[in-house]
């Protein structure tokens, strides 16, 4: 369960990036939509402590993102729009192994777990490839496989399909919707957003609609055409 209690983010220059938000997210799939610069990424980053609230608090069950940062980051995996931001090792398998270094102490166990993570997403044939040679879709799948290899309870994905073609965005969308984890997805892909259980519409640092995805998207469309 993710809880925001009057959580607000103010930039160092005093700009209000996110106005105080109080809500609880228990649904398996939550989508977040809204215009560029409305505050979606800031909201998503609050969930795993990448951004700390200036006032108020954010909790994952009993863990506070500020007080319990390390535990929160174990519980909440984060997938970035551009997988290059999180794929840093020379080869595919080394990248997965890097994320397993805390949970698997011995190199042999790490290798076994990394191979299993790649197999789960049909990436095992790419294990020894340089991450730079992968296609955009393969990179995004690998980024998700890497994050999920540590078994976080919650996955936050910030525009995970933005750089992908139709086939790959459908593939990533299907994957996100089929995971056992709670998934919070920030997206401009309204078809993907519509597949959630609950949708938040963000505008100018506030949540202007919170509820049924179809109604939320209609509200978002109406707010754009006004
Ligand atoms: N450190 C900062 N100082 C000042 N303004 C900031 C800072 N960080 C973010 N902002 C501003 O806060 C607003 C919200 O940014 P955020 O990245 O959350 O938007 P977003 O809805 O995810 O946008 P997009 O869809 O374009 O990714 C933007 O106007 C951004 O420029």
Domain of 12, CATH number, reads 3.40.50.300
Q: How many domains does the chain have?
A: 1
Q: Interface pTM (ipTM) of the complex?
A: 0.94
CA of 39 to the centre of ligand 1 (A): 6
Tell me which residue range forms the domain holding 52: 2-224
Tokens of 201: 């519409």
* CA separation for the pair 25, 156 (Å, rounded): 12
**Beta carbon of 116 within 6 Å of any ligand 1 atom:** no
CB 6 within 8 A of CB 56: yes
Q: What is the pTM of this model?
A: 0.93
Q: What is the per-residue pLDDT for 226?
A: 67
Tell me which residue of 5, 125, 2, 126 sits closest to 57, measured CA to CA: 5
pLDDT digits (tens, 9 = 90+) for 184-207: 999 999 999 999 999 999 999 999
Q: What is the per-residue pLDDT for 86?
A: 81
Residue nearest to atom 31 of ligand 1 (CA): 37
Residues of the chain with pLDDT under 70: 226
CB 30 within 8 A of CB 216: no
* CA separation for the pair 85, 97 (Å, rounded): 17
Phi and psi of 90, rounded to 5°? Answer: -60, -40
């Amino acid at each position: 369960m993710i809880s925001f209690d009057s959580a607000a983010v103010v930039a160092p220059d005093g700009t209000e990036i996110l106005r105080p938000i109080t809500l609880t997210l228990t649904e398996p799939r939550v989508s977040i939509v809204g215009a560029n610069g409305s505050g979606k990424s800031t909201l998503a980053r609050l969930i795993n402590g990448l951004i700390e609230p200036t006032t108020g608090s954010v909790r994952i069950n009993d863990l506070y993102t500020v007080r319990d940062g390390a535990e929160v980051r174990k519980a909440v995996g984060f997938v970035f729009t551009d997988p290059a931001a999180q794929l840093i090792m020379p080869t595919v398998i080394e990248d997965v192994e890097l994320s397993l270094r805390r949970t698997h102490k011995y190199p042999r166990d790490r290798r076994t777990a990394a191979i299993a993570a790649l197999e789960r997403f049909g990436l095992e044939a790419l294990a020894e490839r340089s991450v730079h040679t992968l296609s955009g879709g393969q990179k995004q799948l690998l980024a998700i496989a890497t994050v999920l290899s540590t078994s976080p309870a919650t996955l936050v994905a910030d525009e995970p399909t933005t750089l992908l073609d139709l086939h790959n965005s459908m593939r990533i969308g299907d994957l996100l919707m089929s995971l056992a984890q709670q998934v919070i997805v920030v997206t401009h892909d309204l078809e993907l957003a519509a597949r959630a259980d609950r949708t938040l519409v963000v505008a100018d640092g506030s949540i202007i609609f919170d509820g049924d995805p179809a109604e939320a998207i209609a509200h978002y469309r109406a707010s754009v055409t006004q």
